[in-house]
Chains A and B, each alone.
Chain A
Amino acid sequence: MTTGKRRRSIKEISPIDVYNLLPRTNCRECGEANCMAFATRLVNGEYVLEDCTPLLRPEYAHLHADLSDLLAPPVKAVTFGTGDRAVTVGGKHVLHRHDFTYHNPTAIALDVADSMPEEELERRVNEICGFSYTYIGRTLQLDAIAIRSTTGDPDAFARTVERVAATGYPLILCTLDPGVMQGGLSRVPEGRPLLYAATAANWEAMADLALQYGCPLVVSAPGDIPLLRSLVHTLLDCGVADLVLDPGTSVDAGLASTIMTSSAIRRAACLAHDDYLGFPLLGTPIAAWAGDELSPDAIRWKEACTAEMLITRYADLLILHSLEGWVLLPQLLWRFNLYTDPRKPVSVEPGVRTFGNPDRNSPLLITTNYALTFFTVESDIKAAHLDCHLIVADTGGISVESAVAGRYLTAEKVAETLREYRAEDLVGHRWLILPGLAARLSGETEEASGWRVLVGPKDSSGLAAFLREHWPPRGD
């Protein structure tokens, strides 16, 4: 294992490089017309190697190996847990999201402690597993459970591990004492938990456990990158290949150092090809709870801010303590958003949607095709049981406010959309309800389209009340 070996970045690999290493059967099993098309989308990050079924056959094993090597990200992908819930962290190709879509969203783990009374443990575990939020048609959830040994007792740790393992969630076993770690591991011998952590003091014993149970291992050296590299080098030489880096998380005066250390590590991996730092990064905003701050809400606030900044600055995995929705919700949303493809707005198909049983006297509304805008409007219309037509205009997946500001939604665009979707056949009247955030377009829209405009509420939660008051429209 050398460092500084010049590998080609994903941006420098051409589809031809990939094509040359594919089986070139043009079998179409991947759904593409030919292997070249697959190569193009593979190098674009839209496919993974395993999507090429022939490549999995023994006779192509050498191609698989060469392609894996060619496409290997500078930050290794590490998986913990097993089965459907297994979590893969890292696997990053670039520093900036605009260079290449980030893969493997920051995993979020919540902690439990082995000193928790049974009932409390039960409640907390259920809360962690039950936490979910529906966002643009998707369910956002927590990913893993970190079990801390606060008792230092291998039996207590083992009991807690056994209980939590029953959830099927990937586990992070947290203790610096190899004896306690062994106790916990003995209850999940096949569970592939992530072990926290190998340090300068315990690395030999932790390496043994990681090898014995086939587990990935966190390397911890707070604020000390040389030591982190030293531990990584040593552990790699011991044969432990799946590592996660813990450079330490400070939530107070040391926050700057935490943020800049993350940057230094990720820059070294992605820009300088430092193989000893090419591993996923762990952030532990839970450290907010180990300070001298007394107010729990002030601690939660700090934990939330630190977590959000670490998601932004390259953290691949976070351990948090706050289970409060106001702390977790912004984390789940931000990591979801940050890991979308920056080249493709999250959009829905433009067109006409019909709700309830509208007739020719029912209201006609218009909105944009940004997924969040659409799903929000849709859920408000459904919740209020409105009978109406909704025209979804193609703004390239931009929200109403931004589309108006950026001129993706103009009076001409509204007029054109009304024509395109034959609005005049949908209803007998000529009234269009424009989103409140597009109020500015109302006059021009009337001129451009020949439709009368009613300016609706700024937020679609006000639609029901708005229609009660303004529909059917008065006036000529």
Chain B
Amino acid sequence: MGEKRDAEQSRTLQSWLRSLLGGVERIELERVELEIGDMEIFIPTGGDGGPEVRLPAPPVLTRPTALIPEAFSPHQEVYPGRIREVTLGATRKDGGSRGSTVVIGGAAAPAFSSPQALPPHPPAIAMDVFDMKIPLPKALKAPVLDVLEDPAAWARMNVDRFGAEAVTVHLMSTDPLIADRSPREAARTVEEVLQAVKVPLIVGGCGDPRKDAAVFTEVAEMASGERLLLNSVTLEMADHQLLEGVARAARENGHVLLAFTGLELNSAKELNRRLYPYLDPENIVMDLTTVALGYGLEYSFTIHERARIAALMGDAELQHPTISASTNAWAAREAWMEIDGRYGSRDVRGPLWETLNALILLLAGVDLFLMMHPSAVQTLRTVSSRLMHPGEGEPPRDWVTVQI
């Protein structure tokens, strides 16, 4: 207690001295007698009277004359949890007809945080096709102009020319507000695409819960054994008592479900909990929502980081691989609109927008990307392959003196 009071007094003395010494650089003591026993005088400098108090740097008595050696050992983090592995597509031996399958998930550490903790599988890329002509930005339309009305040919182009590891068939035409095509017709489209390509398929609905449930059930039966990824089931389906039927159809016919929720982790967990009674967790993938850069991508980024950390810390309801519909980047006006010329042509702005949307979520741990623009696909593949091989590198470049 006494010590505390002394400290208090000394501080008061110090601030009094400091206020006296405002603006003073030098003091001479005249006619002073000091009897010194045990006494320390500490007069702070920097007293310009202003509020900012800078304590003097400790006097440098021995300035180093050589580099002081230091080592570094990376901070080792241990995570009890791990993301489940989910296989998309099935080959003949597993009851399907695919030439290749894609395994996603398996991460045991935050994405690309350390060369010692790489994910077991590289991020996968699926490319979109639509079952009807839809309005698309020019930059997206140009590469696929000849196949826009032929989903099978479009899928082939995605695989053969752009190297897609999977194809998403969006059954837009089933939308009751658009063409309201029947589940049977939708299943035929999926069948055509299955015959056209040998990669795993993702089947996208129209967003109407009732129609999607009917379409997914029909498609699941038609493509029994193919391990399709049905994109997607929602809490809205659960509310309308539609979830059970779709989940059963998926289980009985060996497919995988994509559980879609809107930027809310509790909803994501709830939807998974509602699926567990019907489906092994190894057959569930999560879509936590991808919003376009400039329009809320930070919410997507943070939701993905939170989900991934929670899963690694042991939350089993979030230990599912995730997908990102990077194509949503094109919802940003900056991606497709003509703006002031200084912002460049939209033909380059758009593809870059999709690329950056995907790269940002790659760092948040997304396992599967649904993409459209070939340049975006190409860049994401290059970058993720580099991230999977961190040992390689070029010597540092001298950017300081280079002539640009």
Contacts and interface: CB of A to CB of B under 8 A. Distances in A.
Interface of A: 56-59, 61-62, 64-65, 96-98, 111, 113, 115, 133, 135, 148-150, 152, 174-176, 196, 200, 203-204, 222-223, 225-226, 228-234, 237-239, 241, 248, 250, 252-257, 259-260, 263-264, 267-268, 271-272, 274, 276, 284, 286-287, 289-291, 297, 301, 304-305, 308-309, 312-313, 319, 321, 324-327, 329-330, 333-334, 337-338, 340, 342, 345, 370, 372, 376, 398-399, 401-403, 405-408, 439-440, 459, 461
What are the 9 closest A-B residue pairs judged by CB atoms, nearest first?
A406-B262, A254-B393, A326-B344, A325-B343, A56-B51, A222-B396, A256-B390, A290-B397, A229-B70
A175 B400 contact: yes
The majority secondary structure among interface residues of chain B is loop
Contact of A203 (B67, B337, B379): B67
Interface string B260-276: 11111001000000000
A330 B390 contact: no
Contact of A253 (B208, B235, B342, B386): B386
B214 interface: no
Interface string B233-255: 00110000000000000000000
B153 interface: no
Nearest to B75: A272
B344 A290 contact: no
Contacts of A403: 262
5 contacts: A58-B15, A113-B404, A256-B392, A260-B115, A333-B294
B177 to A, nearest CB: 6
Contacts of B64: 234, 237-238
A141 B348 CA distance: 22
A290 B399 contact: yes
Contacts, number: 268
B112 A263 contact: yes
B302 A342 contact: yes
Nearest to A97: B302
Given A268-B75, A272-B75, A325 B342 contact: yes
B291 A290 contact: no
A298 B72 CA distance: 36
Contact of A271 (B75, B299, B334): B75
Given A96-B309, A312-B360, A345-B299, A324 B401 contact: no
A65 B334 contact: no
B282 interface: no
Interface of B: 11-12, 14-15, 18-19, 51-53, 55, 57, 60, 63-65, 67-72, 74-75, 77, 112-115, 177, 207-208, 235-236, 260-264, 267, 289, 291, 293-299, 301-302, 305-306, 309, 331, 333-334, 337, 340, 342-345, 348-349, 352-353, 355-356, 359-360, 363, 379, 383, 386-390, 392-394, 396-404
A423 B383 CA distance: 52
Contacts of A372: 294-296
A200 B68 CA distance: 11
A308 B356 contact: yes
Given A228-B72, A239-B63, A399-B295, 19 more contacts: A56-B52, A62-B11, A97-B298, A97-B301, A98-B305, A148-B400, A150-B401, A174-B400, A200-B67, A223-B393, A229-B71, A254-B394, A255-B386, A256-B389, A257-B393, A260-B112, A289-B402, A291-B394, A337-B298
A96 B317 CA distance: 21
Contacts of A234: 64, 67-68
Contacts of A308: 356, 359-360
Contacts of A228: 72
B289 A301 contact: no
Contacts of B74: 264, 267-268
A274 to B, nearest CB: 8
B60 A405 contact: no
A243 B389 CA distance: 31
Nearest to B291: A402
A337 B294 contact: yes
A283 B352 CA distance: 20
Contact of A439 (B177, B294, B394, B401): B177
